[in-house]
Amino acid sequence: MFRKALAGLVIAAGLFAADRSPAAITSLDLQGKITGTGSLHSLRVNLLAVETPYAESSEVNRSGEFRFRSLAPGNYTVAVVRKGLGEVRRTVVISPAVADPSGVVHATIPYSSSEAASNPTGGVVSVHQLSIPGNAAAKYADAQKRLAVHDPQGAVRALEESVALAPEFSTAWNALGVIAFQTGDDERAEILFRKAIAADPDSFEPLVNLAGVLLKKNAFAEALPFNQRAVRDRPEDALANAQLGMNYFKLDQFDQAEQYLQAAKRLDPAHFTQPQVFLADIYARRGNRLAAIKELEDVLALRPDGPLSDRIRHNLAQLSAAR
C-alpha cells in the first residue's frame, strides 16, 4: 500500500523540486567555514542558486570563514575554488527551519585537494577558453556581476553579446542555458546547452545540464547516454551521479539506480536532487520498510520545511503504520 504513495512522491521530487520557504521570510544569511585544508591561500568561494538566476563570490578570511548576506530561501551550491586546481562543491539549504534565531544558516564545507583536482570546473582555464577574445570574456564577467545583483535580464544581454563576439565561447552558451532552465524555458535551455557542447565537445557542464533538461522532458532513453558519459567524465561529481541514478530509476532499472543515487548522497549529502527520496521509493518497492523510513527521515532532517516535507511526513506515517 505504501509503495503507491512513495511513487507519487518521487514524481515531484529531486532535480525539479525547489526548496521554497514561507513568504514571510524574505532573506537569510549564510555563514560558512572551510575545513580540511592546510592552506587557505588562493581559495575563493562561489555561491550559485539552484532554482533562480543568482551567483556571487566571496573571499575567505584567515580562519577559513566566508559569509553571504540577504539570500532568498532555496537550494544553493557552494563551490570552493583554488586557482589552477579545481573546486569542491556542496549543496547548502537556506531556509528558516535550519537558520539560527538571528536568521543565519551555518555550514561547514570540507575541502580536499584530491577532490578539487577531480573537478576542474572553475579552477582551471582550458586551452579552449584561452582562445576566447578579451572583449567576449569581459561581457561574460559583466554577466556574472549582474547575476550577483539579481539582474538576470542584464546578464542575458551581456551573455548574448559575448557569444556574438565569440560563437565558440562554450561557457557563455552554457550560462545562457542555465538561466533559461531556471526561468522555465526548457526548450531554449536545451538549444543553448547543445550550442555549448557543439562549441566545446569536451565541456562537462553543458553535457550534464543537457542531460538534466532531457530528464525533465521525460526523454529518459535520450538522456541516458549523456548521463552515462557525465559519470565517466566526472565519476566523483554528485550531480552526474544523481542524474544517472534518476535516469535508471525512470527506466525501472532499480539496482543501477541505487548504485548512483547512493554515490550522489555520499558525495553531497544535502544534494538538491534529493537522492534519498528516490532511494526510499526503491526500498519501498522491495518491501524494505525500515530502509525507506531512514531515507525519508534523512530528507526531513535536511529540509524540515521544504516543499515536499508534508508529503514526506504523510509517507512516513504510512510506512510506520504498515505491517
- What does each of the 323 residues of the chain score in pLDDT, given as a tens digit? 233 333 333 322 334 444 444 444 568 999 999 998 767 777 899 999 999 999 999 989 989 999 999 999 999 999 999 877 889 999 999 999 999 999 999 999 999 888 888 887 654 445 566 688 999 999 999 999 999 999 999 999 999 999 999 999 999 999 999 999 999 999 999 999 999 999 999 999 999 999 999 999 999 999 999 999 999 999 999 999 999 999 999 999 999 999 999 999 999 999 999 999 999 999 999 999 999 999 999 999 999 998 889 999 999 998 888 76
Q: Which residues lie across from 44 on neighbouring strands?
A: 59, 81
User: Which residues fall within 8 angstroms of residue 134, CB to CB, at 6 or more apart?
Assistant: none
- Residue 129: CB atoms within 10 Å: 15
Residues of the chain with CATH 2.60.40.10: 28-117
CA 281 to chain centre: 21
User: Which residues fall within 8 angstroms of residue 157, CB to CB, at 6 or more apart?
Assistant: none
Instruction: Evaluate the CA torsion angle 40, 49, 142, 211 in order and state its sign.
Output: positive
pLDDT tens-digit profile of 135-188? 999 999 999 999 999 999 999 999 999 999 999 999 999 999 999 999 999 999
Residues of the chain with CATH 1.25.40.10: 2-17+127-321
Architecture of domain 28-117: Sandwich (2.60)
* Whole-number Å distance between alpha carbons of 144 and 302: 29
pLDDT score, position 5: 30
Query: Looking at domain 2-17+127-321, which of 1.10.3720.10, 3.40.47.10, 1.25.40.10, 3.40.640.10 is its CATH number?
Result: 1.25.40.10
* Whole-number Å distance between alpha carbons of 45 and 78: 7
Instruction: Kindly state the helix (H) or strand (E) to which residue 71 belongs, with its residue range.
Output: strand 65-71
